[in-house]
Amino acid sequence: MIIKSDNIVSDIKESADVCIVGSGPAGSVMAMEMAEAGLSVIVLEEGGHFSGSRLNMREEDMLPALYNQRFTKDLSIALSQGKCLGGGSLINMADSVRTPDGVFRMWEKRFGITDISPDTMKKYFDRAESILKTKKIEEAELNNNNLVLKKGVERAGYTGDAFYHNREGCIECGYCLLGCPYGHKQATTENYIPRAIASGAKFYVNARADKIVGDGERAEKVAGTILDGKTGMDKASIEVTAKVIVIAAGTINTPQLLLKSKIPDESGLIGKNLILQPYTMVFGLFDEELKSYRGIPQSYYTDRYEEVDEDRGLTGFRLEGGFTLPGQVSTVVPGFGEDYKELMTEYSRMANIMVLVFDGPDGSVSLNRFGRPVIEYEMKGETKADMVRAMKESAGLLFAAGAKKVMFTYEVPAVISDPSEVSIVDERGIEPCTLTIMSFHIQGTCRMGPDPKTSVVDSYLECHGAKNLFVVDGSVSPSTSSSHNMLPTMALSHRTADYILANRGRYFG
């Protein structure tokens, strides 16, 4: 059952075996697994419910409705997360990427996580992929934008590959980032959530969790607010008492909720070790019309530049084909006035390479005096150097594919007509608020590990400070879990669900 705020006229008090905060990839997994095991489940989702015709494919409507858009404190990096039923699975590019084996070995070596390994995780990745209907994108499905990257990679003598994705019967309209009104993208609204509802789970949408209430040792209830679905204003209160509470609110909102709730934390690491995996874009301008906005937006990549270091995890950078809609492109194309207008008229002749850089845990989330998250992040020298190199390599690949001009997303326009001019990136460097930088795969603010002195949750994602409180989103990753962290987060959530059900007597009596 999906309960909308339109139908709520008074305060609500509920009880359940399991209360889950957040309905994104990880929260949906927990809801399905717990409900299908016969437990009563209530899910609180701050965003609304959008499907079918409500996903109207208009940027001006869907971006504010589906996204929780934030910035770092210095305004230098834009952070995007889902704020809707299904969370990030509804609005992402539907790329399904497993955690590299070497990352698990690094977690064991550096963080002492001995019971998570390629062998123990395989069945959970398999399960998630089966439900998501994951398969490899076929070469015939590569759109012109991704074919540009493929051509550049091959002409440079490098290697690349198509992504695995969770789509079924895709009509290749190109609107993935605004949700799929046709239901072909296998967001959790198409599988996990319907299965959870069929087994009795209740989903409150426009329901914000404000505080976890407990006795100092155990979490007992979630106190929250029902929001008006149109205005976002407070409408009523909601309180859910539960035997197990699961937080899947995302890497920013989860530490915010734990800090506001004063959950015991011997490590002092709630909100620390923020990983942003910063992105930027490099555009190529071609003579021919590409219409890069048509087709699967992100389908090809090269991992030539990334490595798995068993001391540091994923390092280097990845280059991906990725294109988006005109409103979003207009916010990153550099320049002003007539020059800017002229560049935007070339929209249908543009191709774009997405630059994804693997960073370290270089940021933090804290609270201001109003209890709102403050996101601080300083890009370190090695990350900056990787981004500079990645931008230069992207330019080279675009020129190799036939681009006549290449433009970088600096605030002060940087448009070059020859590969020899790429040194402008060395000259400009990476300084705050001078280059468009974004983050979509946010991780790391509630690090897992065996020692309560150095981690927030254990390897089964149970809080060290509250023995029936679990955190199952990307915040638990000790380092970058993958180039795209939806699938790793879901696999870990499946594992946690197995653990809870295997210890059913302890948690539910």
Q: Do 348 and 290 meet the contact criterion of CB atoms below 8 Å apart?
A: yes
The span from the CA of 365 to the CA of 374, in Å, is: 6
The span from the CA of 456 to the CA of 273, in Å, is: 11
Residues with Cβ within 8 Å of 505's Cβ and at least 6 positions away in sequence, in order, are none
Tell whether 474 is in a known binding site. yes
**Could you tell me the two tokens for 366?**
């804290």
Please report which helix (H) or strand (E) contains residue 395, including its range. helix 381-400
- Residues identified as active-site: 441, 484
**How many other CB atoms are found less than 10 A from the CB of residue 341?**
11
The span from the CA of 84 to the CA of 492, in Å, is: 21
**Cα 56 versus chain centre, distance:** 22
| Dihedral of the alpha carbons of 459, 463, 467, 469, in degrees to the nearest 10 | -110
* Bridge partners for 150 per DSSP: none
**Could you tell me the two tokens for 318?**
């990845």
Using alpha carbons, select from 505, 497, 404, 504 the residue that is nearest to residue 192.
497
**How many other CB atoms are found less than 10 A from the CB of residue 466?**
23
Q: Measure CA of the first residue to CA of the last residue in the chain; give whole Å.
A: 26
The span from the CA of 240 to the CA of 237, in Å, is: 10
Which residue bears the tokens 């309560």?
452
The span from the CA of 223 to the CA of 218, in Å, is: 15
Which residue bears the tokens 């530049």?
305
Using alpha carbons, select from 248, 257, 272 the residue that is nearest to residue 472.
248
Give the total residue count for the chain: 509
Pairing, β 469-471 against β 234-247: parallel
Report DSSP state, residue 142: B
Q: Do 362 and 379 meet the contact criterion of CB atoms below 8 Å apart?
A: yes
Per DSSP, the three-state class of 309 is strand
Query: DSSP readout, 129-194?
Result: HHHHT-EEPPGGGB-HHHHHHHHHHHHTT---EEPEE-BSS----S-GGG--TTS-B--GGGTHHH
The span from the CA of 464 to the CA of 451, in Å, is: 8
Binding-site annotation, residues: 474
Residue list for the binding site for FAD: 474
